[in-house]
C-alpha cells in the first residue's frame, strides 16, 4: 500500500504478504481500508445481490482507421503540420495540428496513425484544452 499524502510519517503494520494470483479475492474490512487510504471512495466495491455474467450482446463496429487514406492527405496536408518520430517503430510527436478543427476524414486518418504508431503526442493544444470536456 502506498503511503498517504496527508500523513507521510504514519507507521504501518503490513504483516506478511502473499502474492498468489490463484487465491480468491478477500475484501479488506471497511474500517481498516478507510484508515489506510487517502481516497476511500476509490476502493473496490460491488453488490453481492447482483449477478455479473459474461453474456454480452453482439454489436456492429467499423474501425475508423479502415476508412482512412494511407498517405493521410487530410491530417498532414497543412505545411505548418510537422511530425517527429519518438522511436523508429513507435511514437510520433505532431506539431501545428489543431485537434479542434479536424474533419471527419482527418479523424479517421488520426485513428490509423494511432493504430500504426501506438503513441501520438500533440503539442500546442491550448485552444483544445481551454474548450473543456465535451
Residue 52 pLDDT:
64
pLDDT at 3 over 90: no
The pTM of the full predicted model, rounded to 2 decimals, is 0.54
Helix (H) or strand (E) holding 23: none
18-57 pLDDT, tens digit each? 555 566 666 656 566 667 777 777 777 767 677 666 677 7
Burial of residue 112, with CB atoms counted within 10 A of its CB: 0-12 exposed, 13-18 middle, 19 or more buried: buried
The HSE-up count of residue 94 (CA atoms within 13 Å, CB side) is 19
Other Cβ atoms closer than 10 A to 58: 5
Residue 117 pLDDT:
94
78-123 pLDDT, tens digit each? 888 999 999 999 999 999 988 888 899 999 999 999 999 999 999 8
Integer Cα distance of 127 and 106 in angstroms: 18
Amino acid at each position: 500500500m502506498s503511503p498517504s499524502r496527508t500523513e507521510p510519517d504514519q507507521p504501518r503494520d503490513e504483516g506478511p504478504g502473499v502474492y498468489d494470483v490463484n487465491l480468491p479475492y478477500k475484501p479488506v474490512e471497511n474500517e481498516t481500508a478507510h484508515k489506510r487510504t487517502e481516497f476511500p471512495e476509490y476502493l473496490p466495491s460491488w453488490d453481492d445481490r447482483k449477478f455479473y455474467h459474461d453474456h454480452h450482446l453482439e454489436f456492429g463496429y467499423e474501425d475508423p482507421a479502415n476508412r482512412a487514406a494511407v498517405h493521410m492527405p487530410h491530417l498532414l496536408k497543412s505545411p505548418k503540420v510537422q511530425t517527429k518520430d519518438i522511436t523508429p517503430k513507435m511514437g510520433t510527436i505532431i506539431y501545428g495540428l489543431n485537434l479542434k478543427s479536424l474533419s471527419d476524414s482527418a479523424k479517421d486518418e488520426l485513428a490509423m496513425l494511432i493504430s500504426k504508431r501506438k503513441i501520438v503526442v500533440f503539442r500546442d493544444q491550448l485552444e483544445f484544452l481551454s474548450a473543456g470536456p465535451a
